[in-house]
């Protein structure tokens, strides 16, 4: 279906581009000129350091930040904090000012942009004025802070509307939408009231529905671990800037993995909350994502350099009346009892969803997941093999494709054809022609909703029957793939279909640090130790390996492995507590 859509979009855009006389390119040029005026000349990286910076280069650019000469030693220390609580403590005690912290992150964000093209909107002037206001407030009120996030710079995914700045979501036709009424999305508005400083907006894919953050307006965002690998999508700009400490906490949205995919690609932490729990109103989408239950629910959530950042975000939002910012929310406070019940707890039942053989995962991912499960077992967790016990993932992906196509096709088609811009390449690599057509009648939509309810019932029964506290699974079949090769995001999307909260934790050895032969050998011994069955295709099943990128350790070099932790709907606090415990064990924190 997707490749057919791509053909229609390409043809339609080609015709409309002729009609419009190629006007989308002039609109792009003007927009970039306006944006680039916000960069500071004194923060430009010397060209000699940028010679190998391009999308075909396999270099990591993380260490280049320290070679630019732009950051002072103090600014390096500020931006290298892993624990946000430590940074906030220094701001709130007066040891650091919001202004010096904000300038440090503005500098590092501009460096990140020159290395990986991760930004869409630049608001350095506004951020500095905001920081001065917060410092002045702190001084005049004898050390009082406006809220728990007082003075903290936070990066923002492009789709979150902010006053006086566009939210183009990768579409030329959305240039200038900063002028729409009430241009302040509910989540950033809440974070602002809690003391946050907004300084950049970050890049996304065209129409925010592919796994590569590439569009005709701002171009392609690169992965700081290896520039030839994808930064993921749709919150790819967030993953990229966090992966190189141009940010310490950012916000994204997730309808099929858009928080978790960039997190796993760039080696950071990402948390997809249950829907209806985080303020969502005011997010700009190619189509107004249906939150009424007809389509798969989208949710907003955090990406961070540590679980500490995830916790700060969730507690700050949940503990400050989020329903005041979005009346549609069903969750209105942080459940401290649930969190404390599972905090530091280890004697729990964890289901291991290692692989669906129809969607085979790479050896590096399989080895890492088994290795982390073995570590958890030694710490008192009971690991339950879910092989042959879970619903075939094809059913969930087939459902997701029909829901997504229903939600985005016509609005996307119109969004492109209004200016004649062409679709980006990553749309064509979703490889979903093998999956179903969307319903086009009220009865069909109704049946789709009923189908989703049944899927959710089946997974709830799995939790009940096996008395599971959580599931660990891959977040992706691969570490970060090469550009435009990601394919289908099945191992994240399944948890959107079930509406389970999910957290990605980076862990394990980068690709290339262990020989392939040693990985295969270790997989077999770990399976034996954990008593994990090897799953095979059934006679009536088809392999969808062609929908996924191929394994090649030399191509995927330096990609960071991960695990994904999942609990049930509205068990976000339980997931937070478990993820913190698991992270502390497997990453030895």
C-alpha span between 474 and 464 (Å, rounded): 22
157 assigned to active site:
yes
Q: Does the model's pTM come out above 0.75?
A: yes
pLDDT at 442: 87
Among 1, 408, 498, smallest CA distance to 205 is for 408
Q: Which two tokens stand for residue 157?
A: 């995914």
Would you say 256 is a known binding-site residue? Answer: yes
Q: What is the pLDDT of residues 384-419, one digit of tens each?
A: 999 999 999 999 999 998 888 776 655 666 677 778
pLDDT at 302: 99
274 assigned to active site:
no
Q: Which parts of the chain have pLDDT scores under 50?
A: none
C-alpha span between 472 and 374 (Å, rounded): 12
For the chain, state the CA radius of gyration. Answer: 23
Residues 6 or more apart from 71 whose CB is under 8 A from it? 65, 79, 104, 107, 108, 111
Residue tagged active-site, from 28, 31, 157, 557: 157
Q: What is the pLDDT of residues 288-330, one digit of tens each?
A: 555 555 789 999 999 999 999 999 999 999 999 999 999 999 9
Residue tagged active-site, from 258, 263, 426, 432: 258
Structural domains in the chain, sorted by start: 2-41+60-586 (3.90.1300.10)
pLDDT at 408: 64
Would you say 307 is a known binding-site residue? Answer: no
pLDDT at 141: 99
Would you say 301 is a known binding-site residue? Answer: no
258 assigned to active site:
yes
pLDDT at 418: 79
pLDDT at 22: 60
pLDDT at 51: 96
Q: Which residues of 354-368 are buried (b: 16+ CB within 10 A; e: fewer)?
A: bbbbbbbbbbbbbbb
Would you say 151 is a known binding-site residue? Answer: no
Q: What is the pLDDT of residues 98-138, one digit of tens each?
A: 999 999 999 999 999 999 999 999 999 999 999 999 999 99
């Amino acid at each position: 279906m997707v490749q057919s859509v791509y053909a229609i979009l390409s043809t339609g855009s080609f015709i409309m581009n002729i009609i419009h006389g190629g006007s989308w390119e002039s609109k792009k040029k003007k927009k970039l000129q306006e944006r680039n005026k916000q960069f500071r000349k004194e923060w430009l990286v010397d060209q000699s350091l940028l010679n190998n910076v391009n999308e075909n280069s396999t270099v990591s650019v993380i260490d280049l930040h320290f070679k630019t000469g732009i950051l002072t030693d103090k600014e390096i220390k500020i931006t290298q904090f892993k624990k946000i609580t430590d940074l906030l403590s220094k701001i709130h005690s007066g040891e650091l000012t919001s202004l010096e912290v904000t300038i440090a992150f503005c500098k590092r964000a501009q460096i990140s942009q020159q290395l990986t093209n991760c930004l869409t909107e630049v608001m350095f002037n506004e951020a500095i004025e905001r920081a001065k206001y917060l410092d002045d407030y702190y001084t005049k009120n004898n050390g009082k802070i406006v809220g728990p996030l007082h003075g903290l710079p936070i990066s923002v995914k492009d789709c979150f509307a902010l006053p006086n700045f566009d939210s183009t979501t990768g579409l030329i036709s959305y240039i200038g939408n900063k002028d729409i009424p009430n241009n302040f999305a509910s989540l950033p508005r809440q974070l602002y009231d809690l003391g946050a400083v907004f300084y950049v907006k970050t890049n996304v894919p065209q129409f925010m529905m592919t796994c590569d953050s590439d569009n005709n307006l701002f171009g392609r965002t690169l992965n700081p671990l290896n520039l030839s690998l994808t930064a993921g999508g749709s919150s790819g700009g967030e993953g990229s800037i966090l992966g190189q400490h141009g940010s310490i906490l950012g916000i994204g949205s997730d309808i099929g993995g858009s928080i978790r995919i960039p997190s796993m690609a760039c080696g950071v932490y990402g948390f997809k909350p249950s829907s209806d729990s985080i303020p969502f109103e005011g997010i700009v989408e190619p189509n107004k994502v249906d939150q009424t239950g007809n389509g798969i629910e989208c949710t907003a959530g955090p990406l961070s350099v540590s679980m500490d950042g995830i916790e700060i975000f969730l507690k700050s939002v949940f503990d400050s009346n989020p329903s005041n910012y979005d009346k549609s929310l069903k969750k209105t406070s942080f459940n401290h009892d649930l969190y404390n019940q599972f905090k530091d707890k280890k004697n729990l039942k964890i289901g291991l969803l290692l692989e669906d053989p129809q969607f085979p995962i790479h050896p590096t991912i399989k080895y890492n997941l088994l290795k982390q499960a073995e570590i958890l077992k030694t710490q008192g967790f009971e690991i339950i093999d879910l092989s042959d016990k879970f619903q075939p993932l094809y059913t969930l992906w087939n459902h997701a494709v029909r829901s997504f196509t229903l939600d985005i096709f016509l609005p996307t088609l119109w969004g492109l054809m209004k200016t004649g811009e062409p679709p980006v390449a990553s749309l064509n690599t979703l490889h979903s022609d093998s999956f179903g057509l969307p319903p086009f009648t009220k009865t069909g939509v109704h049946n789709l909703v009923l189908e989703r309810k049944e899927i959710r019932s089946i997974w709830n029964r799995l939790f009940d029957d096996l008395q599971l506290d959580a599931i660990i699974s891959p977040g992706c079949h691969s570490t970060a793939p090469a550009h435009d090769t990601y394919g289908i995001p099945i191992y994240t999307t399944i948890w959107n279909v079930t509406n389970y909260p999910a957290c990605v934790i980076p862990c394990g050895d980068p690709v290339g640090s262990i020989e392939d032969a040693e990985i295969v050998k270790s997989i077999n011994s770990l399976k034996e130790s954990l008593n994990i069955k090897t799953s095979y295709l059934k006679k009536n099943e088809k392999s969808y390996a062609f929908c996924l990128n191929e394994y090649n350790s030399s191509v995927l070099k330096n990609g960071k492995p991960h695990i994904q932790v999942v609990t049930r709907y509205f068990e976000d606090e339980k997931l937070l507590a478990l993820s913190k415990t698991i992270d502390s064990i497997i990453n030895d924190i």
